[in-house]
Structure 1
Amino acid sequence: MVNTQLYFIFLTVLNIFVSSNAKYVRSPGNDVSLTAALKHSLELKCIYQGLNDGGGFTEWYKDGVPVSSEKPGHYAVHNSDTESKLTIKVFVKADADVKIWSVKTTKSGFEEPLACQFGPIPIRPAPQYMDTGLSYEQLDTSHESVRRVQGDRLSLRCVVEPSLTEEESLKNIKWEYSPDDHEYSKLHDGATIPSGDQLVIDTVDKTHRGYYRCSVDNVSFTVLLRVKDRLAALWPFLGIVGVVLVLVIIILIFEKRERSTRKATIIDDDENDHANDPLVRLSNKPSDGENKKRAVKV
C-alpha cells in the first residue's frame, strides 16, 4: 500500500516536473510586427521546446472556431511533434477581423498555450492588380499579359490596397523591368512615371517587350507586355491573297494545257474522219485512163 502511494506521488511529481519544463513559442515572435498582404499567403507557427515526447498539437482556432470548419482550401494545418503550422493560403479582409488566433494541444496545463496566441493581423498596403484604363482588359492575376501594336500607347496603373496617398505612392511604389522575368532593373527609355502608381509608354516599340512589375515592401505584381508588328494584322489577309493568286495561276495553267490537248484531239479526229470519208477515197483513187497513160509511157 505504501509502495502504491509512493508510486502515485512519484508520477505526480514527474508530471509537474515535465509540465514545468514544457515550453511553447510562437513564430513570428512577439518582437515582430505581424502584418499580411491581401491575396497573399501567411504562416503562423507554434514551436514546442519542451523535454518530453512532443507538443501534442491538435487544431488551430480563430476566435474559438476551428479553422477546419471553414471552406476547404483557405487554411492548411501541419502538425508534428515539435511544431504546428497554420497556413492562410489567401489572406482576405475577413481574416483581418479575427481577434485571436490560437492552437490547442493535449498537454495538461497547456491546452491552449498563451505563448502561441496571435492577436489581430493588420493588412499592409500591397499591389492587387493593374489597371490599363481599358474596360475589356482585366489584369487581376500577376503575370498576365497585355498586347499592344507598335506605335500604340501603354498605361499601367498599380492598384494598391489599402490605398496610398500620392506622396506615399511616390515614396513606396517601385517600378522595374525584365526581359525574361529573372533579373529586374530600371525601366526602358520611353517609359515614364507621371505619378507613383502609374507607368506610361507613349509609343510602344519592340524593344519594350518584357515584364513590368510594381512593388511595395517586397510584394509585387507583374505584367507581361507583348508587342505586335504594325503590319501583323495584314499578314492573314496577305496570306489569303497569296493563296488565291497561286490557285488562279494553277487554274489558268491547267486550262491552257486542257485547251492545247483538246485542240490536238480535234485535229486528229478531223484527219481520221477525212481519211475514212468514201468520197475522199474515191477522189484519191487513180482513174483507168491515167493508168493506161502510165502504161504507154512505160
Structure 2
Amino acid sequence: MMTIRKIQNKIKDMKNNRILFTLLSLLSPMLVFAAGSVNGEPFLYSMWGIGAIVILFGIYALIRSNAAQNELQTAGAASGGYSSSSAHQATTGNDAVVRATSSEGVSGSDYSGGNDIFDDEKDLLLSHSYDGIQELNNKLPPWWVGLFYVTIIFAVIYFPYYHIFSGWTSAKEYETEMATAKAATDAYVKEHGGSVTEEDVTVLTDEASLAAGAKTFATNCVACHAADGGGGVGPNLTDKYWLHGGGIKDVFKTIKYGVPEKGMIAWKASLSPVQIQQVASFIEKKLQGTTPAKPKDPQGEEYTGE
C-alpha cells in the first residue's frame, strides 16, 4: 500500500517532468537558432542534433509523467476508492492531504487507509479544510528561507542607496562616459588642431601659421619639390600649372591623400589636418608666383583661380 509521502513524491515527479518538458520546449527554438549560426560543427552541436536531444528529453518526460499517473491510480484502487479524480485533487498542492468524502472513498479517514506516516504528520496538519482537502504545515527549506531574508536585506540597502541617496545609476554612468568622451575629444582637437577637411579648409594668412607651414615643408617636401618649390622629382609649385588642381582645397587634398601612382605618399598618417592646412597655405601664399633658381617645366593645366 502506497503511503502519503510516496504519493506526494510521485506528484512532485510528475510536476518536475512536466516543468522539464515545458522548459525544453521553450528553450529549443533558442538552442536551434544558436546551433544554426555555427557552421562545420559536429552533429550534436548542429541544429538537427540539438533538436533531436530536445525531442528525446520531451518524450522521456512524458513517459515518466504517464507512468507516475498510472502508478497513482493503481495505488488508489488498491487502497479502496482512490481514483484518478482523487489524484487530480492531490496534484493541487504538494502537501495536500485528501479526505475521501464520497461513498466510494473511506469516510472519516485518509485515502491511504490510516498509515503510520500520516500519524507522524498529525502535528503538522492545519485545521482548515477546503472541499475535503487539508494541508500540512511543513517548514520551508532552509536555503529558501535564507534566500528570502537575503532579498529583504538587499531591498533595504538597495532602495535608499539608489532612489534616495546618490548611488550609482545607469544615467550617471552615461553622463560620466559622455563627459570622458568629450574631454578626450577636446584633447584630440587641441593636439591635432580640429577636424579640418578638404571640404572646409581655408587659406591661413597669419605669419605664425605660415611659418609653421614653412617648417613642415622644409622637413618633408624639399626632397621632391626643392627648397624654393621649383620642383625636382615632384612638380614645380611656383607656377600656375597644376596636375591635381591649384586651389587650397585641391592642394590640401593632394597632400592629405597623396598620389601613390606618382610616388607621393599620403601625408594624413604623418601630419595633422592643421599641419596639412599650414603647409598648403604656405605653398599658396609664399611659393606661388615666386621665381625659383631652377624651375621645372610646367606640368598639368593652368589654374586661374577658384
TM over 0.5: no
Query: So what's the TM-score if we normalise by structure 1?
Result: 0.26
Which one has a larger percent strand, Structure 1 or Structure 2? Answer: 1
Which one has a larger percent helix, Structure 1 or Structure 2? Answer: 2
Query: So what's the TM-score if we normalise by structure 2?
Result: 0.26
